[in-house]
């Protein structure tokens, strides 16, 4: 490392950074930007606030550690503030007075993250926190932080062992296993020492800690558990941190010797099947930080309880409602997250396929998609045998507006796009099932999606089969089977039975009703005209702008892209309304910051300089920093603008062959002037609404942040 992760310029002592987490994060991001370590304070703040929105970063000791990986960060950086006015970061013991912003480069190497993780480990040490509170100067804080980051790793302290235990440990074949054996006075079978064992039975526990970002909570949870275990005589603990630094897996011998397992994670456990059959205690990562003693007590109790829940491997991970509750997630929330996972995996198929279809139309003309004419070209011709305007193939004659190389390349693009679009329902279904049941859910999920296409159930069927396949695979994976059958479960039994179950349910029960529902929906959309079409456009616009990239926005986008491959005009109009409405918020907010800059904070003004480009590219998330800082004024205004655009698109009969790209795929939109006019109408309404709300209903927090930015920077 050529630069220190923290300097005195990155420390602010006894400062008032506002009353909300967003304000504190923005001030710290501004501090990082001022030192030249971040290219854009608004982007850094937005990335950190997005992480904060997933779960509060408050930890014991009235400390908060907002953190993120960001493309705006040049070098790994720590910014620190000791607050004179505490701010609630959802910590277990009240509002935070000590706040670290941990900013890592988006593409930073493992070494960077190792350094940042050392700080997270230090935050569970009382003496370190006392030093931060007592520091009189910024230099003292820097010395304290660099002291823990640059400290050499401590060797693990083993508990005292008797001579007999040491002898038993010496016979172990691996160092990890010997460490465990040496600590087990009552459980070491190989000991030849005849003296009585110690009175206290020792429970061997292994733990996995992991948080979504993998920088801070992962390591804090590990150290909180380790420190609690070190203070006890009845527990021997080994922890595997599945963070962003290099993961050192627990030795197989250690796992085999363990009496119980703790999973303190907010994400899936990697290689979960290693722990199959072990009693398990499972929760979110923050519980391990806040309640390490309770979790260890629960693990000890589970180790001695024959009825305790046990790890069934990835296929059956957390199959009962109590498991879901212990992780803080209801079944409804888990299914919602699974659907969002399916959508996120499906979107690249839609984007690539849809843009290739649009490019095919651009090169070959719009009749390349009529009556499978593209298939006649790509299968009947080649680059050395270019097609003319008239093509005969398989007993049929096709006529095109263009010929030669452009027609052939356009048909190739269109054919490739069709193949990609053919996967969207299967990908949606497959990855919903994957999110619920991990790898065993993929096969029945994809098969269910293919069946949905066959019976005409479309994306509605894909949603149903994805959830169904995931739940069935999860249930089958939970079966207790003899060991000789267990090896066949993941590769034969689970795929076979889950695929069969999904097929039977779809063909015998749900397929035709879902197909009829989908056909009715498509026919209803095709028949929409006049006021009914405008109402649909309003609803689409409201959905696209309600949460700016969240579940409602994604649901509207899925609705628009689902019918894109059919090519009917109603579906293409819906796609145009979806894309146009989604472009409105970033553009409207950008223009508003130019027109009335004083109504926005300096960070929002800076963000407004680039938000318009994100809007033109159909990246609704460009408006998130504005919405996060002032949701009550921004979101209703943007919904009004989006509804205006959606209604205008439907009224003008605008269609889009492309699912993404914004203004840059204008060639695939007709009429192009109607598309632009609809966007302009929504932008004007949205910008005027947000300016009016901020003018006549001032945001006091934003005003305070603006005044604070004008004041001299405090050291």
Residues belonging to the active site: 211
Q: What is the CB neighbour count within 10 angstroms for residue 693?
A: 18
Local structure of residue 71 (DSSP, 8 states): T
- Going 69 to 71 to 73 to 74, the CA torsion angle's sign is positive
Q: Contact 63/128 with Cβ under 8 angstroms?
A: no
Within 8 A by CB and 6+ apart from 165, the residues are: 181, 182, 183, 184, 185, 188, 191, 193
CA distance 715 to 8: 8
Distance of alpha carbon 552 from alpha carbon 545, whole angstroms: 9
Counting runs of H as helices and runs of E as strands, what totals does the chain give? 29, 14
Q: Which residue's structure tokens are 């929906």? A: 521
Listing DSSP states for 249-313 in one string gives: PPPHHHHHH-SEEEEEESSPPTTGGGGTTSBEEEE-HHHHHH-HHHHHHHHHHHHT-TTS-B---
Rounded CA-CA distance 75/111 in Å is 12
| Pairwise CA distance, residues 556 & 542, whole Å | 9
CA distances from 476 to 160, 342, 495 (A): 45, 21, 10
Residue 276: burial class (beta carbons within 10 Å; 0-12, 13-18, 19+): middle
Report helix, strand or coil for 542: helix
Q: Between 331-364 and 404-421, two packed helices, what is the crossing angle to 10 degrees?
A: 170
């Amino acid at each position: 490392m050529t630069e220190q992760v923290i300097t005195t310029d990155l420390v602010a002592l006894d400062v008032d950074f506002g009353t909300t987490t967003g304000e504190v994060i923005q001030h710290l991001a501004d501090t990082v930007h001022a030192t030249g370590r971040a290219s854009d304070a608004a982007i850094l703040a937005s990335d950190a606030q997005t992480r904060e929105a997933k779960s509060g970063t408050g930890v014991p000791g009235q400390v908060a550690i907002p953190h993120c990986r960001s493309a705006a960060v040049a070098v790994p950086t720590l910014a620190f503030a000791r607050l004179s006015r505490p701010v609630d970061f959802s910590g277990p013991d009240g509002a935070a007075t000590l706040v670290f912003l941990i900013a890592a480069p988006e593409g930073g190497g493992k070494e960077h993250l190792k350094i940042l993780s050392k700080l997270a480990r230090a935050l569970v040490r009382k003496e370190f926190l006392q030093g931060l509170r007592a520091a009189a100067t910024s230099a003292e804080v820097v010395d304290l932080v660099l002291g823990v980051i640059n400290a050499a790793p401590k060797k693990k302290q083993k508990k005292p062992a008797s001579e007999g235990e040491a002898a038993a440990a010496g016979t172990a074949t691996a160092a990890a296993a010997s460490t465990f054996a040496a600590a087990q006075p009552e459980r070491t079978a190989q000991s030849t020492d005849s003296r009585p064992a110690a009175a206290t039975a020792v429970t061997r526990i292994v733990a996995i800690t992991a948080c979504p970002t993998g920088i801070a909570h992962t390591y804090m949870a590990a150290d909180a558990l380790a420190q609690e275990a070190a203070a006890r005589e009845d527990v021997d603990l080994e922890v595997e941190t599945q963070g962003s630094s290099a993961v050192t897996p627990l030795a197989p011998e250690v796992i085999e010797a363990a009496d119980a397992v703790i999973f303190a994670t907010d994400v899936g456990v990697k290689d979960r099947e290693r722990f199959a059959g072990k009693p398990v205690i499972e929760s979110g990562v923050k519980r391990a930080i806040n309640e390490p003693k309770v979790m260890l007590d629960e693990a000890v109790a589970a180790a001695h309880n024959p009825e305790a829940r046990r790890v069934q491997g990835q296929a059956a991970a957390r199959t009962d409602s109590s498991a879901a509750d212990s992780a803080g997630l209801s079944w409804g929330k888990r299914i919602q997250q699974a659907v969002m996972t399916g959508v996120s995996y499906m979107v690249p198929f839609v984007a690539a396929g849809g843009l290739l279809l649009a490019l095919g139309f651009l090169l070959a003309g719009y009749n390349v998609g009529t009556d499978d004419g593209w298939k006649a070209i790509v299968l009947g011709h080649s680059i050395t045998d270019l097609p003319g305007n008239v093509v005969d193939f398989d007993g049929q004659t096709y006529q095109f507006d263009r010929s030669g190389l452009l027609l052939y390349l356009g048909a190739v693009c269109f054919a490739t796009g069709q193949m990609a679009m053919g996967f969207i329902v299967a990908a949606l279904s497959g990855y919903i099932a994957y999110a619920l049941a991990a790898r065993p859910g993929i096969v029945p999920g994809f098969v269910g999606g293919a069946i949905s296409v066959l019976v005409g159930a479309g994306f509605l069927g894909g949603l149903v089969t994805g959830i169904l396949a995931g739940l069935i695979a999860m249930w089958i994976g939970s079966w207790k089977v003899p060991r000789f059958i267990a090896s066949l479960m993941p590769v034969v039994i689970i795929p076979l039975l889950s695929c069969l179950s999904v097929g039977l349910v779809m063909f015998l029960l749900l397929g035709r009703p879902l197909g009829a529902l989908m056909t009715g929906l498509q026919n209803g959309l095709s028949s929409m005209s006049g006021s009914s079409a405008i109402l649909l456009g309003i609803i689409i616009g409201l959905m696209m702008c309600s949460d700016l990239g969240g579940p409602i926005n994604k649901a509207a986008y899925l609705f628009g892209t689902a019918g894109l491959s059919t090519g009917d005009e109603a579906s293409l109009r819906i796609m145009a309304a979806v894309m146009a409405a989604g472009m409105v918020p970033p553009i409207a907010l950008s223009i508003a910051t130019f027109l009335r800059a004083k109504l926005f904070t300096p960070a929002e003004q800076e963000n407004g300089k680039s938000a318009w480009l994100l809007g033109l590219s159909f990246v609704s998330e460009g408006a998130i920093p504005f919405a996060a800082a002032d949701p009550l004024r921004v979101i209703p205004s943007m919904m009004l603008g989006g509804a205006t655009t959606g209604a205008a698109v439907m009224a003008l009969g605008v269609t889009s062959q492309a699912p993404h790209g914004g203004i840059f795929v204008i060639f695939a939109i007709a009429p192009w002037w109607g598309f632009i006019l609809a966007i302009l109408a929504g932008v004007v309404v949205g910008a005027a609404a947000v300016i009016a709300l901020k003018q006549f209903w001032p945001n006091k927090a934003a005003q305070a942040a603006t005044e604070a930015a004008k004041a001299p920077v405090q050291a």
